[in-house]
């Protein structure tokens, strides 16, 4: 786990995976069946005369989502990872280490994605490696406001723009769209909604004015 992660409740799934001799487990955004939506704080003026409020309103962050689904491709959030002391897990760690050395400045998570997504499907360690994708609650980030945390990462991670893109001279890619299928967006909230966390209401901005349209029933986690 990252040093700044915190245990919120007993991570029972980890014990189960260890007992099942799982080689590798991590949260995979591509394999998230619940399509965990991302929300970011946004500055909103409640009246023309008052200054904007920065710590009360949340807005759907479309750029933080992926519209692709795959159980064989990895887009990880690496704050929580599980490795068994097995030959297959050690082989993956070795390939991850090599990717970090080959692509300096590209970010650890992106290098792990690259290493996993370019495992040869004919190699022995790929066939033998037992993989499990952790739920978002085991690597919960602060902009996943509908996810009750088990292991919480209270700080916002760095963005991809902060790192050097991976450009492999041998033509290997970070991800392969041919191994993915499109997914539909989450459906329980409108994408243009603004959440008022104080009043627990949903708004839209119309001509720079907040217009309420619905009260919230979902539990929010901060």
5 token code pair: 């992660």
In this prediction, residues 31-56 reach a mean pLDDT of: 83
pLDDT digits (tens, 9 = 90+) for 66-116: 889 999 999 999 999 999 999 999 999 999 999 999 999 999 999 999 999
Sorted by where each begins, the domain ranges of the chain are: 6-41+66-186
Does residue 133 have a pLDDT over 70? yes
pTM of the model: 0.89
35 has a pLDDT exceeding 80: no
β-sheet with 201-206: strand ranges across: 39-41, 57-60, 194-196, 201-206, 209-215
Model pLDDT, residue 24: 98
Alpha-carbon distance of 135 to 151, in angstroms, equals 10
**Per-residue CA distances from 55 to 9, 41, 44, 138, 173 (Å):** 26, 7, 9, 25, 39
pLDDT score at 187? 60
Cα separation of 13 and 183, whole Å?
Answer: 26
Share of the chain above pLDDT 90, in %: 56
Give me the residue label for tokens 């723009």.
161
More confident residue, 34 or 50: 50
The pLDDT tens digits of the residues spanning 136-192 come to 999 999 889 889 999 999 988 777 678 899 999 999 999 999 999 998 766 666 777
Q: What share of the chain is helix, strand, coil (3-state, %, to 5)?
A: 25, 25, 50
């Amino acid at each position: 786990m990252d040093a700044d992660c915190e245990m919120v409740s007993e991570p029972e799934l980890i014990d189960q995976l260890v007992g099942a001799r799982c080689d590798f487990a991590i949260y995979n955004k591509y394999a998230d069946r619940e399509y965990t939506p991302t929300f970011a704080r946004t500055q909103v003026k409640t009246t023309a005369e008052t200054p904007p409020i920065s710590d009360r309103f949340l807005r759907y962050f479309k750029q933080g989502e992926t519209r692709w689904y795959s159980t064989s491709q990895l887009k990880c959030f690496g704050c929580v990872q599980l490795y068994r002391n097995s030959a297959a897990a050690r082989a993956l760690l070795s390939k991850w280490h090599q990717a970090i050395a080959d692509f300096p400045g590209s970010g650890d998570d992106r290098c792990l994605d690259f290493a996993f997504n370019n495992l040869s499907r004919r190699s022995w360690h790929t066939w033998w490696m037992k993989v499990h994708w952790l739920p978002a609650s085991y690597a919960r980030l602060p902009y996943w406001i509908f996810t009750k945390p088990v292991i919480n990462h209270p700080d916002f991670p760095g963005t991809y723009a902060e790192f050097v893109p991976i450009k492999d001279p041998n033509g290997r890619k970070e991800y392969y769209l041919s191994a993915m299928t499109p997914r539909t967006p989450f459906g329980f909230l409108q994408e243009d909604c603004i959440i008022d966390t104080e009043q627990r209401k949903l708004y839209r901005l119309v001509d720079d004015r907040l217009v309420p349209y619905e009260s919230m029933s979902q539990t929010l986690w901060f």
